[in-house]
Structure 1
Amino acid sequence: MRTIYEIDADRIATGKSRQIGQKDGRPPHWVVSAKPPPEGLAQWQGDGWLVLSERPAPPPPPVPDVVSMRQARLALSRAGLLANAEAAIAGMTGEAGDEARIEWEYATELRRDHPLVAALGQTLGLDDAAKDDLFRQAAQIL
C-alpha cells in the first residue's frame, strides 16, 4: 500500500489522503509523495511541496478575440483614452490612415489582432498587457 494526497486546481494540498495498492493507478488530482508540510499552504511542484504564505492569485480571464466597436470606444472612454485614440486615428496619413478612419467609423467589431489595435497601442503607449486588459474590460460592457 502507498499513501496518496489530494490537490486542488492550484495544486494546493486539500488535507485528504488515502491508501492505494502498489499496482493501482493514481486518480487525477492526487499525488504520490511524502506527506505535505503541516504549516502554511503546501503546493505540489511536481517533485515536492512548496510552502506558500498565501494562495496564488487566480490567472486573469482569457482575452476576448473580438469586441464590438461600441464596447471598444466605451472601454477607451472609461480609461480616459478615447480622445487620444480619436486624435491618433485622425492624424494617421496616407492609405493606412484612410483605412484606419474607415475601420474606426464603419466597423461593427474590433479584433484584438487587428493592425489598428497595434497601431493605437503604440501611439497611446500601451503594452500588450494593457491592450489585453482593455479588451477584457470592453467585453464586460453590456
Structure 2
Amino acid sequence: MDIFEEKFSELQADMISICLEYVDNRADKVYVYASCEGDMISSSFYYLINNIYVECHKVNSALEEREEKYDVSSERMFQVLQILNEDIEEIEILCKDHKKEMPTEMKLIYDVGSGNFKAEYSYELIHTNEDIKTADDFADEWFEQIKNNSL
C-alpha cells in the first residue's frame, strides 16, 4: 500500500471511529455520507442498531428498554460532524498533494460485527448541478435506500 492509500484509509477509518464513539461502540453498522464539491463540504452519519435503521439524532429510539441511552446532545453531534468535515478536508488536501482526483461523494459502510468495510466513491458533480437538492438531501436519499435495501 502506498502512502496515499494508507493515509486515505486512515482518514476513512477515523470517520468510522468517531461515529462509533458517538454511540459508545454500540451499533451493528455505521453509515457515513461525505460530500465535497467546490468549496462545499458536508457529511451525515447513520446507524443500524438492534435491526433498526436510525439517523444520528434518533439513535436512542433503537435501544431496548434496559439499554443505556446515548448522549445525543446537539453539541456532541456537531462535534462528530466537525471531525467528519475535517477528515474530508484532509482527504481533499491529500488528493491534491498526490495529484489524485477527489471524490465528490463517499458512502462508507462499516459492519461492526464482521469488521467489513465498504466504500463507494463518485467523482461526478452531484449537488452542484442540482437547483433544489442540497448535499443533505442526497445523504437522506442514500439513507432511505439503505433502509429499503438493507445494505
Q: TM-score range by the shorter chain?
A: under 0.3
- In terms of fraction of residues, the more helix-rich structure is 2
